[in-house]
Amino acid sequence: MLCPVEGWGKQKNMSYLRVMSIAGIFPIDKWNFSTSAILNVLTEKEYDFLISRQIGQKYVKGEVVFREGVVPSGIYLIVKGKVKKYKVDHSGREQIIYVASQGEFIGYHAVLAEERYPDSAATIEDSVLSFIPKEDFLQVLTSSPLFSSRMLKALSHEFTVLANNISVFSQRSAIERLSISLIFLREKYKNDLNAEGEILINISRTDLANLAGLAKENVIRLLKELKEEGILHTDGRKIWISNLEKLIVRSNYR
């Protein structure tokens, strides 16, 4: 039996101590939402019913968790790793809507709306996910007003974030979109540190391009510019931001 969030809070707190916090210098909440705190409102009995009897399933990098248009049979909790939520256009190109990380739920929109999945989800690194049948999820949602309230709050904030993302694609320049995407990813990877204690973003250039809504060639060129400006360093697909303040200036978020 695998406890999905065992040790997660401790790891998170340690990472905050070792890396520069973004709070106060960039409005990350405009671009990032998380369902990770929702579990904290459950009683021990509710938590055991919803989570403890679920067994984590391993997914390799790039493996599809669910596809757009499929009828959902439950939701997923990310025990370890990261998952991209995306849609595919008529030409076959992906547009990444969001990246979810450890401790977050995915797939709950379709269950709550009693609809098919509105998007697809796939891992961007080796991951472990816990599947929760929709009957269990809905039972706890019905029996716990606080859990229901937190879920509604998370959905409301998610709407705000997605509205900001639409604004980015329609109004921002390429460098601003890439900068905001990198700042967002820094938040998602803040528990992934290299030997020097720096946040290490490990994502393919294709996924980064699909997240920022840019051509892969443009992403490669802009990353080179940011590297020459001393804002970041790269090693293969790995990226670490060495000057967060300069990157925020380049994002022109105000």
Say which range, 122-126, 152-156, 207-211, 227-231, has the weakest mean pLDDT.
Answer: 152-156
Sign of the CA dihedral with 215 first, then 217, 220, and 221 last: negative
Q: 216: Cβ–Cβ under 8 A, 6 or more apart, which residues? A: 205, 206, 209
The percent of residues above 70 in pLDDT, for the chain, comes to: 91
pLDDT more than 90, % of the chain: 63
Question: What pLDDT, in 10s, does the model give residues 84-113?
Answer: 999 998 888 899 999 999 989 999 999 999
Mean of all residue pLDDT scores within the chain: 87
Place 20 in a pLDDT band, splitting at 50, 70 and 90.
Answer: low
The predicted pLDDT at position 23 comes to 67
Residue 124 has a pLDDT of 96
In this predicted structure, the answer to whether residue 254 has a pLDDT above a threshold of 90 is no
pLDDT by residue (tens digit) across 197-226?
889 999 999 999 999 999 999 999 999 999
Question: Average pLDDT for residues 33-62, to the nearest whole number?
Answer: 86
Q: Domain 32-169 is in which class?
A: mainly beta
Q: Sign (positive/negative) of CA torsion 170, 176, 177, 183?
A: negative
